[in-house]
């Protein structure tokens, strides 16, 4: 069984995340979407809300499981018997941070390989942060996120 972990904040899940999950599913038998507790980042959506929005969207894809994790990613990967970590790369601006994380994770556990996937072009400019900003200002996010996420955003801001 080839299993990969796709970690992130998913605050909230966007069409870009779903695109990466679909691509990862073509390469792995099972993809575990792992939501980081991330207390430092002051998320808009609580952990439970972020998990629920993923359950309503990503979990509908075959062989995709939603989990939460706290602590070191490589330890979580080991516990789940996953040999790979998936990350999305949008632009050069993602590269430096992702490169540092990937090499540090390799130093912590050389058995876990990080794999970068590029989303469909139209999602290159998409991030949870920009979606929240547009929604906060009353803009239309319906082409950027699943319907349940658009509804959850409008409940947060109106
Ligand atoms: P984090 O807080 O770990 O950056 P995110 O939820 O913002 O969590 O992102 C999780 C992963 O998904 C990261 O690897 C990020 O680069 C990637 N990602 C986010 N949005 C997109 C997108 N539109 N296209 C491709 N990858 C994306």
CATH assignment of the domain containing 27: 3.40.50.620
Judge whether residue 112 has pLDDT over 90.
yes
Q: Is 37 in the pocket of ligand 1 (CB under 6 A)?
A: no
Q: What pTM was computed for the model?
A: 0.96
Flag whether 156 is in a domain. Answer: no
- Exposed, middle or buried: residue 96 (CB in 10 Å: 0-12, 13-18, 19+)? exposed
Is 128 one of the catalytic residues?
yes
Backbone dihedral angles phi then psi of residue 125, each to the nearest 5 degrees: -100, 10
Is 41 one of the catalytic residues?
yes
Whole-number Å distance between alpha carbons of 14 and 16:
5
Is 154 one of the catalytic residues?
no
Which of the two residues, 38 and 68, has the higher pLDDT score? Answer: 68
What is the 8-class DSSP label of residue 29? S
Residue 38 binned pLDDT confidence (cut-offs 50, 70, 90): confident
Flag whether 95 is in a domain. Answer: yes
Interval 68-85 mean pLDDT: 96
Q: Is 146 in the pocket of ligand 1 (CB under 6 A)?
A: no
Q: Is 50 in the pocket of ligand 1 (CB under 6 A)?
A: no
Tally of domains within the chain: 1
Domain extent, residue 113, equals: 3-124
Whole-number Å distance between alpha carbons of 93 and 57:
27
Distance, first Cα to last Cα, the chain: 45
Flag whether 150 is in a domain. Answer: no
Flag whether 133 is in a domain. Answer: no
Q: How far is the CA of 8 from the centre of ligand 1 (A)?
A: 6
| pLDDT tens figures, 90-100 | 988 889 999 99
């Amino acid at each position: 069984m080839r299993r990969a972990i796709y970690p992130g904040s998913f605050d909230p899940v966007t069409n870009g995340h779903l695109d990466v999950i679909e691509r990862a599913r073509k390469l792995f038998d099972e993809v575990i979407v792992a939501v980081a507790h991330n207390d430092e980042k002051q998320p808009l959506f609580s952990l439970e809300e972020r998990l629920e929005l993923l359950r309503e969207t990503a979990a509908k894809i075959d062989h995709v499981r939603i989990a939460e994790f706290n602590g070191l990613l490589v330890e979580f990967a080991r516990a789940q018997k996953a040999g790979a970590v998936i990350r999305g790369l949008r632009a050069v601006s993602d590269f430096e941070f992702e490169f540092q994380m990937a090499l540090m994770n390799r130093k912590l556990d050389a058995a876990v390989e990080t794999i970068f996937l590029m989303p469909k072009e139209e999602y290159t400019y998409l991030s949870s942060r920009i979606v929240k900003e547009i929604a906060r200002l009353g803009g239309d996010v319906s082409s950027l996120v699943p319907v349940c996420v658009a509804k959850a955003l409008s409940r947060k801001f109106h």
